[in-house]
Chain A
Amino acid sequence: RKEVEQDPGPFNVPEGATVAFNCTYSNSASQSFFWYRQDCRKEPKLLMSVYSSGNEDGRFTAQLNRASQYISLLIRDSKLSDSATYLCVVNKAAGNKLTFGGGTRVLVKP
């Protein structure tokens, strides 16, 4: 089993709609969780950290469920510019060693 698993998609989303997807992780000792965004042929960039209480950044909401070992990302009012691959990232130790999932591809269409 992979340490971090994601549905590769693509999720085809009409502009203005809401899309949500999950990521599961296998190591219960994981401490920190992040969503990174990667545009086609570009480098990954931090989208948001995921906190135990859940957190929101504009149209983006991230949730963590430690009991079931998954995190989620919800995008409201999708924009064309939200089209990208969203990478789920887990850090299981204090040394900042990140383990990336394979990514979920989102395509927002007019």
Chain B
Amino acid sequence: EAGVAQSPRYKIIEKRQSVAFWCNPISGHATLYWYQQILGQGPKLLIQFQNNGVVDDSQLPKDRFSAERLKGVDSTLKIQPAKLEDSAVYLCASSHMQGAHYEQYFGPGTRLTVT
């Protein structure tokens, strides 16, 4: 079974530029998550989708971050404009359903450096 796919794997941009990340979850997984992991910290949930609807975006900085999951499959996360503190690994995860007992599977992440 193919895992969660993410691209690009690495991205370097200058502050105030825009960037977009793409995620393809495991086939059949209804729930998709975007996390931000700053070096030395644990992942922090940015947004959670159930199919193509947003379940939780309480920690998403909505003035600069946006995400969508059209057709309930692939998802994109965008940052516009980027700040230095956005330098982090952006992890996408998916699970079969919502619910505490459904394991979340993570993609390899996109490592973003903002200079």
Instruction: Mark A residues whose CB is within 8 Å of B.
Output: 4, 8, 31-32, 42-46, 49, 87, 91, 94-103
Q: How many A-B residue pairs have CB under 8 A?
A: 52
6 cross-chain pairs, A with B, having the tightest CB-CB distances, nearest first: A100-B42, A43-B106, A32-B100, A91-B100, A96-B98, A102-B42
B44 lies within 8 A of A100 (CB): yes
A102 proximity list for chain B (CB < 8 A): 40-42
Chain B interface residue bracket vs A: 20 to 34
B55 lies within 8 A of A87 (CB): no
A94 lies within 8 A of B42 (CB): no
B87 at the interface (CB under 8 A from A): no
Can you name the residue of chain B whose Cβ is closest to the Cβ of A46? B103
Can you name the residue of chain B whose Cβ is closest to the Cβ of A100? B42
A94 proximity list for chain B (CB < 8 A): 98-100
